[in-house]
Amino acid sequence: MSAEIVGAEGLTLAALLTPWIGAPLIWLARGNTNRREAVTLITAVVLVGLVLALYELVAAGARPTLTLVDPLPGLAIAFTVEPLGMLFALIASGLWLVTSVYSIGYMRGHHEENQTRFYIFFALALGATIGLAFSGNLLTLFIFYEALTLSTYPLVTHHGDEAARAGGRTYLGILLSTSIGFLLLAIIVTASYAGTLDFVPGGILAGTAPNWVLGVLLALYVFGIGKAAVMPFHRWLPAAMVAPTPVSALLHAVAVVKAGVFSVLKVVIYVFGIDLVAEIPMSHWLAYVAAATILIASIVALRKDNLKARLAYSTVSQLSYIVLGALLADSWGIVGGAMHIATHAFGKITLFFAAGAIYVASGRTRVSQLRGLGRAMPITMGAFLIGSLSIVGLPPFGGAWSKWFLLFGTLDAGQYVFMAVLLVSSLLNIFYLVSIPMRAFFSAPDPDLAGQGEAPPLCVAALVVTAAGCLALFLFPDALYRLLLPLVGL
Amino acid sequence: MIASNLPALQVVVPLISAPICAMLGRGRTAWVLTVAVSWTALAIAIALLIRVETGGVIDYEMGGWAAPWGIAYRIDYLNAFVLVIVAGIGAMVAPAALQGIATEIAPERQPRFFAAMLLALTGLLGITITGDAFNLYVFLEIASLASYALVAQGPDRRALMAAFQYLILGTIGATFILIGVGLLYMMTGTLNMADLAARLPAVAETRTIYAAFAFIIVGTGLKLALFPLHMWLPNAYAYAPGVVSAFMAATGTKVGVYMLARFVYTVFGAPFAFDTMPLGQILMPFALLGIVVGSLVAIFQDDIKRMLAYSSVAQIGYMALGISFASETGLIATIVHLFNHALMKGALFLALAAVSLRLGKTDLTAMRGLGRRMPLTMAAFVAAGLSLIGVPLTAGFVSKWYLVKAAIEAGLWPVAVVILGASLLAMIYVWRVVEVAYFRAPAANAPAAVEAPTTMLIPILILAGGGIYFGIDTEVTVGIARAAAMALLGTSP
Amino acid sequence: MAALGHFNYWVAIGLMMIGLYLVIARGNLVKKLVGLNIFQTAVFLLYISMGKVIGGTAPIFAEGFTLYTNPLPSVLILTAIVVSVATTAVGLAIIVRIREAYDSIEEDDILRRDEE
């Protein structure tokens, strides 16, 4: 067993370092585009391999820890791999590989500029994501959280034009303001009261401060983790849609937004502890804010004609599902929320992939332009259908499980209002998401669609993989479920 | 013999070199001498710091005359650290100075320019190292006079009025300190700081000492540009030659903060300053105002040097805030920020000096597209800018952390909010420059710009890199700051 | 009567205020500098006068005298006078350069010319 433990630390370090080593290698390979793309793909494959190997160990009960330097006396950059972080790392690394394949198709098909810069910062962003996933204390989490914001800024502003600059400003402005203004304050206050910032199952704050202080602290965390897009700090998500679609797909369906809700779950489970969160009155108020976000974002999504904007607001809504699950402080809610990280990731990335494929193949960006597109691009729209059904939460797609658990959580906690919110939101999802592929397949096509072909093959391949992932998550949820049970002490 | 007289040499070496420099005929020779002297000064400062770490406080008597009648130099953790900061910045700026002033100062005046720089260095080192209150005034005036002359060398004619205004305000400030010292002498009969500290408690409850305290605080406040006594700073930094701004911004006000800490904690003692006199209640609001007003005004400046000057006013507010907490964490925050801010502002102003060298001006429109034309310089600017905002893994983050921690330990949550809010304001004014440099194309008639010359680029990169290194490995800086803070508060190990 | 006995302080403060007033209220740069000088001189008077010991003679060793005035303040002020002279010199040098650049040494004129 000890040989495996030593191996686990080594694996963790290797996984952490892989993207950071990959980035300069991409720069070195910039002369030949095929060689450069190969470096990205190899880095991604290596990362997936390492993360999978780690998964074997963590699923068996190992919790490898790693401590690096102390930037502040007594507070180290430390890593601890636990089930939630393992899940996040699996999703991020696996989908990075898929997205890299997709990006190659998209960037080449669209003749984008500055591709080297794109791939380098993509690798850096993934490096920050893995660092975040494996963080062992709040300081490390904060460091990689900020690193993620900064490394994704050049990706969001990739096109370098006025719109990109404005979008980048909103993106950076909201994310840095919330993280420095609220999150950092919360972390320092936590350090003052608890004396430590380590992630400990059961939390570090129990009994250290009066309830009202803990309540304020929880609010600071929920609003400070701006990447979870809880209203009113959600505007950065639609603003980030100025980015090229591969960026929107991986980062804003998977890495950045999941980093947000992941951090919320980590704080709830490992800083406060589920029982403490259940006791604080503020959790209830914050749950209402999350519920409001779910509904308002769904309604706004209904009214958006721009496809990416609609998907952005859908993401805002879905993220608050997870925040709600966390704040319910109920075992089913936590497990459901954590599962939703996985199921929503696959579903949303499929939708974004499809949106990008449509744009590259036909130049269309608006929902109203997609009538009858199903005949010309059947695989793309088919995948879109699968993705939207998964998000709605219908079997036989993975989203069904996470939604089921979340609903069960609301019932278990006796919160019927929230149950109603979830059901209403699912209904709205059907209206604003499923209607798109329905219209694409069953409406009469526009005349100027004649001769429209499918998207570039690499894009289509990626689409099929993620759509299949949605299906697989429904058929084989066991491993996921068993991985997550220790979070709630089961 | 050299080893035992290092404290004296720290001041004497630059002092003697200054007139030698003035007599040299060519700017280049004067520059070589300046670089050699500044590096020697750094070596001496580091040696003194090591000696303090291993052997404790160094007491040195000038000329062998025993204190308190003779002038004594007293080096503890705090001074040793500030000596390293000042000498370090001098050692970084001196190599960059030759190219930096190439377009701003005529060749025949360059030897005297370097002489003035050496005098300024002498003065600043002397202020830091001395243990005698009047000696501090003398060195203060040496440094200030040299600074007035240096500021007046600026290429724009507005530098002259800026220098004159600085002269008037600076002299008033120094004279206030002189009055304060005089009043202290009247009541205690001594000028030696350690001796004053011993004798003051007996006479502390008199109006004379209250007046002395007030005069000294106001005088020091003028020197460190505490709001609202900061009026001289924006013009002086904006119109001075680029290299001078870098030097002054990274050293002058740091030494001012050192003077404040020394007088408040060592000479008068924290109980007198904070319990008998309402220093905390007075310093904190002004510090907070400085932070907020400085950051806000910086956002609206078009000239980047002026923007950084107002940013300095805000950063000085941070340091004064740390002192006003009268707690160990607060002092650690201030002392660590002395170091970190010197790194940040040194890098930023030196980068701007390089820009000024290549483009002739430093306003926002001139900096369009600079990210491509001067990539390394702008990369250093961005790194130092991130440190100013307080992004983790930079030095600025460490200072912010301790400052907010001190505010929370004092139970002052609103102050913590203000500190973090100012970081967001810093984000606005730093990002304005980043956007313009990386997102805009250069204007059609912009002068062609190439990367900064190597003698400037290397110090810029060292300073910017230091801002990141000391954000990750803080053992040295925080360790020294903690030891210094404990010594100041009398809770020494 | 104690107030009259402390007349040196009153003189010093009076001169200080006059000096500061000149610095602030006068627009002519040379007059500002003169005000600064008066301000500094007031401080010198303060120091030197405080060194006087009643009944003491000049601080020079001589036969037959046992009580001397305190020499230290005078010594300190010698240094301070040098500093003041140096400051005045630098100030005047700057004023000469200002005159060359602006053709005036009135603060209002100079500020107006800058705005143009």
pLDDT tens profile A172-184: 999 999 999 999 9
Residues B395-414: what's their mean pLDDT? 92
If you count residue pairs, one on A and one on B, with CB atoms under 8 Å apart, how many are there?
74
Of the candidates A212, A145, A154, the one whose C-alpha atom is nearest the C-alpha of residue A184 is: A145
Residues B403-426: what's their mean pLDDT? 92
Other Cβ atoms closer than 10 A to A435: 14
The whole-number pLDDT of residue A5 equals: 53
Own/partner long-range contacts of A19-23 (Cβ < 8 Å, ≥24 apart): A19/A43, A19/A47, A19/A123, A19/A124, A19/A126, A19/A127, A19/A130, A20/A123, A20/A124, A20/A127, A22/A123, A23/A120, A23/A121, A23/A123, A23/A124, A23/A127
Chains B and C touch (3+ CB pairs under 8 A): yes
Q: What percent of chain B has pLDDT over 90?
A: 67
Is it the case that residue B493 has pLDDT exceeding 70? no
Of the candidates B466, B377, B380, the one whose C-alpha atom is nearest the C-alpha of residue B99 is: B377
Residues B465-492: what's their mean pLDDT? 87
Q: Which two tokens stand for residue B401?
A: 């952390």
Beta bridge partners of B75: B58
How many angstroms separate the CA atoms of B133 and B191, rounded? Answer: 5
* DSSP codes of every residue in B434-483: HHHHHHSPPPTTPPP--PPPHHHHHHHHHHHHHHHHHHH--HHHHHHHHH
Residues B96-106: what's their mean pLDDT? 88
The whole-number pLDDT of residue A291 equals: 92
Residue matched to tokens 């180290």: A76
- Provide the shortest C-alpha distance from residue A358 to chain B (in Å): 29
How many angstroms separate the CA atoms of A373 and A302, rounded? Answer: 20
Establish whether the linkage from the previous residue to A395 is cis, with ω within 30° of 0: no
CA angle A325, A327, A329 (to 5 degrees): 85
**Residue A299: partners with Cβ closer than 8 Å, 6 or more residues away:** A428
Cβ-contact B58, B7 below 8 angstroms: yes
The answer to whether A328 contacts chain B (CB < 8 Å) is no
Q: Which two tokens stand for residue A403?
A: 């939604």
> In this complex, do C50 and B149 lie within 8 Å of one another by their Cβ atoms?
no
Strand B72-75 relative to strand A65-67, pairing: unpaired
Q: Which two tokens stand for residue B153?
A: 């060398």
Is it the case that residue B347 has pLDDT exceeding 70? yes
**Residue A267: partners with Cβ closer than 8 Å, 6 or more residues away:** A138, A221, A225
The whole-number pLDDT of residue A490 equals: 64
Domains and CATH numbers, chain C: 7-115 (1.10.287.3510)
> In this complex, do C83 and B138 lie within 8 Å of one another by their Cβ atoms?
yes
**Which residues in chain B have Cβ-Cβ distances shorter than 8 Å to C36?**
168, 171-172
* DSSP codes of every residue in A298-318: HHHHHT--BHHHHHHHHHHHH
The whole-number pLDDT of residue B165 equals: 94
Which member of A146, A157, A173 has the closest CB to residue B391? A146
Question: ipTM greater than 0.90, yes or no?
Answer: yes
Residues B23-29: what's their mean pLDDT? 85
Range name among A60-74, A172-186, B223-237, B440-454 with the lowest pLDDT average: B440-454
Q: Which two tokens stand for residue B137?
A: 């005034």
Chains that touch A (3 or more CB pairs under 8 A): B
How many angstroms separate the CA atoms of B475 and B477, rounded? Answer: 6
The whole-number pLDDT of residue A1 equals: 43
Other Cβ atoms closer than 10 A to B1: 4
Segments of chain A with pLDDT less than 50: 1-3
The dihedral formed by the CA atoms of A180, A186, A190 and A192, expressed in degrees to the nearest 10: 70
* DSSP codes of every residue in B334-372: HHHHHHHHHHHHHHHHHHHHHHHHHHS--BGGGGTTHHH
Q: List residues of B whose CB lies inside 8 A of any A CB.
A: 386, 389-393, 397-398, 400-401, 404-405, 408-409, 416-417, 420-421, 423-424, 427, 431, 435, 439, 471-475, 478-479, 482
The whole-number pLDDT of residue B234 equals: 94
Q: How far is CA A218 from the centre of its chain?
A: 21
For residue A66, the surrounding DSSP H or E stretch is: strand A65-67
> In this complex, do B424 and A172 lie within 8 Å of one another by their Cβ atoms?
no
**Residue B247: partners with Cβ closer than 8 Å, 6 or more residues away:** B89, B90, B93, B117, B120, B150
For the segment B128-178, what is each residue's pLDDT rounded down to a tens digit? 999 999 999 999 999 999 999 999 998 888 999 999 999 999 999 999 999
The stretches of B262-302 forming alpha helices (DSSP H) are 270, 279-299
Beta bridge partners of B303: B363
How many angstroms separate the CA atoms of B32 and B474, rounded? Answer: 33
- Provide the shortest C-alpha distance from residue A302 to chain B (in Å): 34
**Which residues in chain B have Cβ-Cβ distances shorter than 8 Å to C102?**
157
Which member of B404, B439, B473 has the closest CB to residue A185? B404
Residues B342-366: what's their mean pLDDT? 90
- Residue scoring higher pLDDT (A279 or B380): B380
Minimal Cα distance from A174: which residue of B? B424
Q: Which two tokens stand for residue A243?
A: 């980015």
> In this complex, do B148 and C40 lie within 8 Å of one another by their Cβ atoms?
no
The whole-number pLDDT of residue A2 equals: 46
Cβ-contact B332, B479 below 8 angstroms: no
Of the candidates A260, A350, A338, A339, the one whose C-alpha atom is nearest the C-alpha of residue A311 is: A350
Counting every residue, how long is chain A?
A: 490
Q: Which two tokens stand for residue B197?
A: 């500290």
Residues B484-493: what's their mean pLDDT? 77
**Residue A117: partners with Cβ closer than 8 Å, 6 or more residues away:** A154, A158
- Provide the shortest C-alpha distance from residue C14 to chain B (in Å): 14
The whole-number pLDDT of residue B159 equals: 92
The whole-number pLDDT of residue B50 equals: 93
How many angstroms separate the CA atoms of B103 and B154, rounded? Answer: 10
**Residue A256: partners with Cβ closer than 8 Å, 6 or more residues away:** A125, A148, A152, A227, A240
Cβ-contact B123, B139 below 8 angstroms: yes
Of the candidates A133, A18, A147, the one whose C-alpha atom is nearest the C-alpha of residue A80 is: A133
For the segment B307-332, what is each residue's pLDDT rounded down to a tens digit? 999 999 999 999 999 999 988 999 99
**Residue B195: partners with Cβ closer than 8 Å, 6 or more residues away:** B67, B68, B188
How many angstroms separate the CA atoms of B35 and A360, rounded? Answer: 59
Q: How far is CA A428 from the centre of its chain?
A: 22
The answer to whether A113 contacts chain B (CB < 8 Å) is no
**Which residues in chain A have Cβ-Cβ distances shorter than 8 Å to B408?**
188-189, 192
Per-residue pLDDT of chain C (116 residues; tens, 9 = 90+): 566 778 888 999 999 999 999 999 988 999 999 999 999 999 999 988 888 888 888 888 888 888 888 888 888 899 999 999 999 999 999 999 999 998 888 888 888 888 87
Chains that touch B (3 or more CB pairs under 8 A): A, C
How many angstroms separate the CA atoms of B162 and B150, rounded? Answer: 11
On the CB side of B329, how many CA atoms lie within 13 Å of its CA?
A: 17
